[in-house]
Amino acid sequence: MRRDPLAGSGREGSGHRAKSTRLSLVDGLGRDERRALLAEIDAVLACRIRDIKLTARLREIYRAASWRQRSGTVRYWLIWVTLFDAATCVLDYIQEPRILWLSIALRAVLVPSVYGVLVWVWMRPRSGFTEGLTLPVTIAVMMLVGQFLGAAGGGAMHERYLSGALFATATAILVFPMNLRWCVAGTVLDLGLYFLFNFTNPAIELKLPLVLTTFFAFVIGCLVPARQTLNLLLEHAFVLSLRNRLQAEELAEANAQLAVLADTDGLTGLVNRRAISARLTADWTAQAAARGAVGVILIDVDHFKRFNDSVGHAGGDACLCAVAAAIRSAMPAHAVAGRYGGEEFIAIVPDAEPRDLLTLAERVRAAVADLRLRHPGLGEGRHVSVSIGVAIAPAEGPSTCTDALVQIADSALYDAKAAGRNRVVAAWSARGGEPAPAEAGPAQVAAA
């Protein structure tokens, strides 16, 4: 199965943490920025793979996202070649015992020292120039080792050591994740040093360095387009994965907005009846586990039909919005208020106490009264007011008891209207009880 270029490995920690680290340039983009980036991606993907050219921003994102994989590739090559090169001291001794100490100095000291520095360079992100420079440095060191050992051995060993160094460094040209310019520069340096060092070898004919260099140029030169093709495929896969991720974020954001819209009353901005019912059920279940109580406050705008008939629907809508804002401002953080239908509003208060519930209901009534919205349907000097019914019950029994709890609050609201409106009536008070949670227990809720 192909590995997602955007996915983090197990060594990088959790998936969320890996994404945040590898794609920090993408995380937190606003909607407009994300769409602009998607437009750039679409323009890039409109080309054939061989013609792909990343924009400056996409190139920066790609370098940041792929750095861990690229650095790992380079470091592993340097480490393994260093170990293998040190082990070949034994082969040098077998071929020519007199070059052993030179071999140890070069293969066991010089190469580990220089390549160790290059490994350190790749331990954290560097500039493109610094990263690219590691390829010619790698090639130059290996070719110098081949030159010094070959010259010390003399004869045919000189050409053999240079050829071995040439092929070892050719693997770096293929493996190192460099762009086309650095690959070409590395190849030219590799072949140039090979020709120059062979040219100084007195044991071979003068024409042989040119012949050998030309031959190897065709062989090693094939690695450059191979590396470039691999780069294009990796960039194409990355851009596809990035587009999928951005589109998934767009979809998730759109779904979240739809979910909010589905739960929101379009006029007042409060949650709608469907969402309130779901919240009431959820709070009932949560309080049942905590052995708590759930309170319901039912709010109705007094004489709203007269208000609407007097000022029209636009004025009526403005009145409902103002009342909704007043209700929202009075709600504590743990409660939720919503529009229950028409001019009726509801508040759900989990972990409620009767006295606190009454205080909250009175605060809502006062907040609406403080608006001092003129009520033209009731005559001069009259203002919009609300009547409120309050009910509470310990969260015991099935969640279907919530419907009965709302009905009890509705009965208290009816009593408030019958008593003259613009007031708060508690269900337990209407029944002649004291404000204690047990007054509206599950038996009474079921009886309602």
End residue of a domain, out of 242, 264, 299: 242
Which long-range contacts does 305-313 make (Cβ < 8 Å, 24+ apart)?
Answer: 306/375, 306/377, 306/378, 307/375, 307/376, 307/377, 307/384, 309/377, 310/375, 310/376, 310/377, 311/376
- 409 with 308, same domain: the answer is yes
Alpha helices (H) along 331-400: 354-371
Segment holding 233, helix H or strand E: helix 223-262
pLDDT at 444: 38
- 277 with 238, same domain: the answer is no
- 397 with 330, same domain: the answer is yes
- 174 with 111, same domain: the answer is yes
* Separation in Å, CA 132 to CA 59, 143, 185, 263, 399: 15, 18, 10, 54, 66
Asked, for residue 211, whether it belongs to a domain, the answer is yes
Asked, for residue 219, whether it belongs to a domain, the answer is yes
State the CATH number of the domain containing residue 323. Answer: 3.30.70.270
pLDDT at 250: 85
pLDDT at 22: 57
Asked, for residue 256, whether it belongs to a domain, the answer is no
Q: Any catalytic annotation for residue 343?
A: yes
pLDDT at 429: 73
Nearest to 350 by CA among 333, 367, 365: 333
- 163 with 229, same domain: the answer is yes
Cβ burial, residue 400 (10 Å; 0-12/13-18/19+): exposed
Asked, for residue 255, whether it belongs to a domain, the answer is no
* Separation in Å, CA 165 to CA 158, 194, 220: 11, 9, 13
Asked, for residue 251, whether it belongs to a domain, the answer is no
Which residues are paired to 389 by β-bridges? 298, 425
**Domain count across the chain:** 2
End residue of a domain, out of 242, 265, 291: 242
- 238 with 308, same domain: the answer is no
- 225 with 305, same domain: the answer is no
pTM score, whole prediction: 0.63
- 96 with 181, same domain: the answer is yes
CB atoms within 10 A of CB 338: 26
Asked, for residue 4, whether it belongs to a domain, the answer is no
- 72 with 159, same domain: the answer is yes
Nearest to 362 by CA among 426, 275, 277: 426
- Domain assignment of residue 70, given as a range: 10-242
pLDDT at 435: 44
- 432 with 374, same domain: the answer is yes
Kind of pairing between the strands at 424-426 and 386-394: parallel
End residue of a domain, out of 242, 263, 296: 242
Asked, for residue 2, whether it belongs to a domain, the answer is no
Asked, for residue 51, whether it belongs to a domain, the answer is yes
- 125 with 210, same domain: the answer is yes
Q: Which of 40, 131, 235, 343 is catalytic?
A: 343
The amino acid occupying position 109 is V
Cα–Cα distance between 45 and 42 in angstroms, integer? 5
pLDDT at 205: 82
- Chunked mean pLDDT (size 10), the chain, 448 residues: 46 42 66 84 88 88 90 96 94 91 95 96 94 96 95 88 94 94 95 92 84 92 92 92 87 86 90 93 90 94 94 94 96 94 95 93 96 91 95 84 91 95 88 44 36
Nearest to 431 by CA among 409, 402, 400: 409
* Separation in Å, CA 394 to CA 30, 219, 405, 432: 45, 84, 10, 19
- 174 with 229, same domain: the answer is yes
